[in-house]
Chain A
Amino acid sequence: MPIDDRELREFVAEATGAPSAVHIVKLGRRHFLKLTGISATGLVLGVGMHAPKARATGTATFVPNAWLYIDGDSIVIRATNPEVGQGVKTSLPMIVAEELDARWADVRVEQSAIDEATFGRQVAGGSRSVPTQWDALRRAGAAARAMLVAAAAERWGVATNKLSTRDSHVVHPNGEQLSYFDLARDAARQPLPDVDALVLKLPRDYRLLGTWVPGVDNHAIVTGRALFGIDHRLPDTLFATYVKCPATGGKVARANLDQVKKLAGVVDAFVLDGNGKATELMPGVAIVARDTWAVLAARRALEVVWDESTAAKDSVTAAAARAQKLLDADGEEVISRAGDVELALGAASRTVDARYEYAFVAHAQLEPQSCSAHFHDGRIELWAPTQTPARGIQNVASTLGIAEHAVTVHQLRGGGGFGRRLVNEWMCEAAAIAARVKGPIKLQWTREDDMQHDFYRAGGFHALKAGLDPTGRLTAWRQRFVTFTTDGMNAVSGGQLGKTVFPGELPAAHHMSQTKLAWHTPCGAWRAPGSNAFAFVVQSFIHELAVAAGRDHVEFLLEQLGAPRWLEPGNAWALNTERAARVIKFAADRAGWGRKMPAGRGLGLAFYFSHAGHVAEVADVSVDANRKIVVHRVTVAADVGQIVNDSGARNQCEGAVVDGLSAMLAQQITFEAGRAQQSNFDQYPLLRMRHAPAVDVHFLQSDYAPTGLGEPALPPLAPAVCNAIFAACGERIRALPILRAGFTV
């Protein structure tokens, strides 16, 4: 059965700096102007539409726009995008507060409604939350500030340009101050400013942005308050599980439902046929009971006979064998070609060829999928920790065959995302069960459900051959790639090769091609899609070339970048070789590149550009005689423009290092007969504290607008560590996870 994964591929286009990124920013701006247009013709309408809470309580005194209001002694700023651990519930409101000149202690953050017409792209994906919201959020804060200043100017009888603002106060030239709370009522009567005429701050004037601000949910997290999807509980809710065929696409032939229905606590058990879409509802058996344990106990007694005639029969061993054969020749699809690569390879004074591969991996976000749903009066409400709430509304409407306006999604905090929650089939399952039960339910996936029904990061196979001239310069590059397709047409999310995997201009003679193998198990976007695997292959191979050429790795890598320039002129989301060179030199310098290392210990370098972020990492690694490795320290140098929250930004880099290491060490999902063979953390190990390296994070801040940090610090980690292992013991790793070659921590 073909899987329509168009939705997921979008996030990869974004990862590689597609021109659409600029379009997205402009779109957000248009939304803002549209909103302001509405408000300008009637503030009350604007208030009514965009400040439902304020309208309900009638207490807000100043509602300048949809992003904030002043209510009593709080400045309430709405967090518009889903929070799954990437820190946007804190960082996005900080942007509003900066332009507003609000004192952060006066700010209360509230999760906004899902309303993309007002708020623009409400998605946690592609490291895009900050860059797509940056302009609108600054203008929202600046517009409110202008109205507060106008109110103060009126009260004091002075011109607005004589006044300044600081810490939630307007300041008179004579030092006198008026607080925003005093001014709120008067500010509400001021005309809305022209958003184009607003003067935004220069980075040097920032007081809040770039500082260390702890997360706004920290207190609730450390005291165990209900926050996450799994914590939400509707009054009189029932609890549900949904059992699907272990091989994607299998249908229920028969099940012992009568027996299951008799078990203690069980309210109902039934089959859902689904709509055949892996991103919505596949066939399965639902069990509904009075509490989670009754559901799980009943599930153990459930016996289903699956009809697997149309189910996935994927096998990774068969795929690997086929891929190795295919790599003997150029792929059927040419990605980029110039000159005569075979001629250039023949003329090279030295050639290097190598095959690389990497396994399928699961997301394993720590909170298994969970969703509450309540179907009543032809409408459905869902409480969901999704990364794509607006798409969730579409998915649920499509599954139930109801209008999108009959679906309401309440955004909850997600216990990790990593791309898994870009897909909302768990919401559709909850919706379908709630519609059948006609009341409130809570769907709870088990860890096994989560690991065996993922949208996996697909594996891949590469054959590379490159030529060097007598001076050790790269003259030819040939790359063959075997990837997967689940729709028979397009490569899976993250499985499309592009020339941007090479850091700079490819040699004049190059040939890049790919071939797609048919696959039936769903694949999806895993943190830094595409980049998370291509970085390992390309940055390891470049190190191989530097070694073969007898040249210093830093110098060889900088040579590939070439002269300082934007790689795609006019596209500010493309690689900038100057920014790249700066982070590489900085990371190397801080890590003590070139110093003499003790026996069995080495430094490894890698650079990768993804999600508009330039990141270089140097790993310091020891390897002992038993192939046990210790990653002592990883030095990270990143240029993502202006830093919004110093704490959150560092945390993302520290976490990406641990995540990257965790994945490269021992994580793999293998499939046989269409079934994932791993089901829980005993078979799919996550890194633990004793193996977590020290991480030094350095931001090379530039005046470029900020770009996201959820992803770009991850891709360089695996090649940096593998290059360090080579430096330490002389052994080249060409397959992930490195457990395959017998390396462990």
Chain B
Amino acid sequence: MLTLTVNGVERVVEEVDPATPLLWVLRDRLGLVGTKYGCGIGHCGACTVLVNDQPVRACSLTVAAASEFSITTVEGLASPDGRLHALQEAWIAEDVAQCGYCQAGQLMSAAALLKRKPAPTDDDIDAAMDGNICRCGTYQRIRKAIHRAAGGVS
């Protein structure tokens, strides 16, 4: 048995192999399917979550290691009352998504960036988003949405 802190809530996971990647515990055991499987080797970023506010690939972090930290997934990005995060609002306004599969991971990397740097430059954005692939090619819209959200925040 392990206890995970996910989106501010303590979740007990029974009978789990401690070597299980956090990704599969989130998806299969906790029903949090916003975090996506893309490559399983930490190369695509579709599974990005925040671990103590740092972007981490959930496919490459064991659930045992994750249990020591506070985890935020895309489901925890909005306020508990349902009010969207500025990034989520910006993603909708810029109509970023095509297939949408990578976007949860993109949002989490962007959320970590804005926490660290509320008004990022293009270079800051490129560096922070380098671990996230968008196969559909929505990069320019992602960048615009991050700037839009940053403008809204400041």
Contact = CB atoms under 8 A, between A and B. Distances in A.
B130 A689 contact: yes
Contacts of A690: 126-127, 130
Nearest to A693: B140
Interface string A268-297: 000000000000000000000001111011
Interface string A526-553: 0000000000000000000000000000
28 contacts: A221-B97, A221-B103, A222-B77, A222-B107, A223-B77, A224-B75, A291-B28, A291-B29, A365-B135, A366-B134, A366-B135, A413-B99, A415-B36, A415-B100, A447-B41, A651-B95, A651-B141, A654-B141, A657-B137, A680-B41, A681-B44, A686-B44, A686-B133, A687-B133, A688-B130, A688-B133, A689-B139, A690-B126
Contact of B74 (A217, A223, A292, A686): A223
Given A654-B141, A689-B129, A291 B95 contact: no
Given A218-B91, A222-B91, A225-B34, A87 B98 contact: yes
Majority DSSP secondary structure for residues of B touching A = loop
Interface in A241-280: 264
Interface stretch (A63-71, A127-135, A226-234): A226-234
Contacts of A231: 33
Nearest to B73: A224
B101 A415 contact: yes
A525 B84 CA distance: 39
A297 B17 CA distance: 10
A293 B135 contact: no
A367 B105 CA distance: 13
A85 B43 contact: no
B4 interface: no
Given A657-B137, A689-B139, A695-B140, A215 B97 contact: yes
Contacts of A224: 32-35, 73-75, 77, 104
Interface string A401-424: 000000000000111111000000
Contacts of A688: 129-130, 132-133, 139
A239 interface: yes
Nearest to A655: B137
A222 B103 contact: yes
B39 A689 contact: no
Given A654-B137, A681-B43, A692-B140, 5 more contacts: A222-B104, A224-B32, A366-B101, A367-B101, A662-B137
Contact of A689 (B28, B35, B132): B132
Nearest first, the 3 A-B pairs at minimum CB distance are: A224-B34, A658-B137, A85-B99
A87 B132 CA distance: 22
Contacts of B130: 688-690
Interface residues of B, number: 60
Contacts of A444: 37
A364 interface: yes
A190 to B, nearest CB: 37
Given A218-B97, A222-B103, A223-B88, A680 B43 contact: yes
B12 interface: no
Given A224-B35, A264-B17, A366 B99 contact: yes
B66 to A, nearest CB: 14
Contacts of A647: 95
Contacts of A294: 17
A744 B136 CA distance: 21
Contacts of A239: 28
A460 B44 CA distance: 29
Contacts of A296: 24
A84 B21 CA distance: 27
A647 B143 CA distance: 16
Contacts of A233: 31, 33
A671 B34 CA distance: 35
Interface string B23-67: 011011101111111111101101000000000000000000000
Interface in A191-235: 212-215, 217-219, 221-228, 230-231, 233
